[in-house]
Chains A and B, each alone.
Chain A
Amino acid sequence: MSTENPYAQYHVVKKGDTLSKIAEEYYGDKMLYPKIFEANREVLQDPNKIKPGQKLRIP
């Protein structure tokens, strides 16, 4: 059982967001979107399908 890291950063998905956009915002490089996808596999099945309101961990 893993405990939540209080120093982890989160992003709440807004309308129009994509994982690429989020990766660009936090990493400066949209090609790093798989990092975010892999870190959120428990809530994301498809990197192209994210929903507004979803809380994603940004590793």
Chain B
Amino acid sequence: MRIAKMFVALTALTLVIACANQKEPAEKAVAQVESALAEFRADAEKYAADELKNVDEAVAKLKANLAKKDYGAVVTGAPAVSSVVTSLKDTVAKAKIDAEAVMAAAQAEWGELSTSVPQLVEAIQSRVDTLSKSRKLPKNVDKAAFETIKTDFETVKADWTAAASDFASGAAADAVRKARAVRSKAEEIHAKLGMNT
């Protein structure tokens, strides 16, 4: 009986010592994971928010185990969490490169659109102003069509203002998408006025 009690006490002591031995590695592992994640968190929030959420949950479990002093679980689980952090870092880096390429392309296209669309608008505006003073309309434009053209042209100008505003606020991709639609509609009006001959 006495030997049995001593065995239990010894086993408990061994466990306490083993556990205490794992405390430092466990704390270090959690700190390393958190530090690695902090390095690219801002980009991750921007380019891979859903994946970041999953990684945050894994890190939270690790920290919960640390709080419970379950250092063994922390030391065992940390490599897998560290691996998903590394994987997320790679995903974010690739997404950032892709996003920057899209942004560069949008900015280049905006450069062309911001020249051509105002020229198109200027040409149409001049003709609309002149035809508005005309006692008769040319053969290719009837009165009803001209009224529709004027309404559509006002929409084109408003949409162009919105596109320019998007670009000014940094939303280049949205600006380009709107500007393409504006140019397409303006080219339609230009043709309806018989100006593309």
Contact = CB atoms under 8 A, between A and B. Distances in A.
B131 A27 contact: yes
Interface stretch (B60-68, B72-80, B134-142, B154-162): B134-142
B120 A7 contact: yes
A6 B117 CA distance: 11
Contacts of B139: 28
Contact of B126 (A24, A29, A59): A59
A9 B138 contact: no
B123 A32 contact: no
Contact of B119 (A6, A24, A26): A6
Contacts of B174: none
Interface in A1-53: 5-9, 24-29, 31-32, 35
25 contacts: A5-B123, A7-B116, A7-B120, A7-B124, A8-B123, A9-B123, A9-B127, A9-B195, A9-B196, A9-B197, A24-B138, A25-B138, A26-B138, A27-B130, A27-B134, A28-B131, A28-B135, A28-B138, A28-B139, A29-B133, A29-B134, A29-B135, A32-B134, A59-B126, A59-B130
Interface of A: 5-9, 24-29, 31-32, 35, 59
Interface of B: 116, 119-120, 122-124, 126-127, 130-131, 133-139, 141, 190, 194-197
